[in-house]
Chain A
Amino acid sequence: MDDCITLTYQVEGGDLSHAGEASSGVKQALRKLGLDPSVIRRVSVCMYEGEINMVIHANGGTARVDVGLDDVTITLTDTGPGIPDIDKAMQAGFTTAADSVRDLGFGAGMGLPNMKKYSDEMTVESTVGVGTTVTMVVRIE
């Protein structure tokens, strides 16, 4: 891949009030680069759901976004509890989120399915007790 630009962010864990700042930063950067609005929206949603997951399930992590000529690759890495059964986690509606998270409008078990739907490629690698890395590629048509 021909990387033009790499953006990196530290995502804090804990409370949700700052969740989305990294996604917002990416969105603004992609706008400045003049990418197609529908590509920007897909990247934004993928990254935002992934960022929320790192905050609520993994106590934060790092986000890296590589903007190439043909695609945008989002890599989210955390050292959280890991996902024991990835296939199950990918199912629509599956969630281990607490009610307190649901009261904030998340935890409906739609994050990973949304990320899959909006990206052209997605891989989830996870080891229980070590952490999770989610990689998503959104192609620029």
Chain B
Amino acid sequence: MTLKEVRDILHAEVLCGEELLDTEVRSACGSDFMSDVLAYVKNQALLLTGLVNPQVVRTAEMMDMKCIVFVRGKQPDEAILDLAQDRQLVVLATKERMYNACGLLYINGLRE
């Protein structure tokens, strides 16, 4: 699935990384606990979270992820977006709740 498709499925707003939307992702992870995200050794390209702080970007960076999706209409501040931009991460924001956002991506084929 491309990040463009992720955006469309979640009716998400693109907050940064517009130019990277053709990136393919095959796996995702949803959590508000960063140590949970860090605990899985496998490749995870997409991080869905309701947590909004710079550590979300750091965690995504450490795990070589491609995209962060902020759920429940959360809006990151400028500092967070600057950091994400610098790390070449796509940032999306959706009004969907975590459960729905994960479910929507799952039924549309993002199953890893």
Interface residues of A (CB under 8 A from B): 16-20, 23-24, 27, 37, 41, 44-45, 48-49, 52, 104-106, 108, 110-111, 113-114, 117-118
Contact = CB atoms under 8 A, between A and B. Distances in A.
A23 B58 contact: yes
Interface of B: 32-36, 38-39, 41, 49, 51, 53-56, 58-59, 61-64, 79
B62 A105 contact: no
Given A45-B38, A105-B32, A27 B62 contact: yes
A interface, by DSSP: helix, strand, loop or mixed?
Answer: helix
B53 A45 contact: no
A54 B101 CA distance: 34
Given A105-B34, A108-B36, A110-B35, A41 B62 contact: yes
B66 to A, nearest CB: 14
Contacts of A48: 38, 58-59, 62
Given A106-B35, A114-B39, 5 more contacts: A16-B53, A45-B63, A48-B58, A105-B35, A105-B49
Contact of A27 (B32, B59, B61): B61
B34 A117 contact: no
Contacts of A110: 33, 35-36, 38-39
Contact of B58 (A20, A41, A108, A117): A20
B60 to A, nearest CB: 11
Nearest to B61: A24
B58 A19 contact: yes
Contact of A105 (B39, B41, B56, B63): B56
A53 to B, nearest CB: 11
Contacts of B53: 16-17, 104-105
B49 to A, nearest CB: 8
B35 A108 contact: yes
Contact of B38 (A18, A104, A114): A114
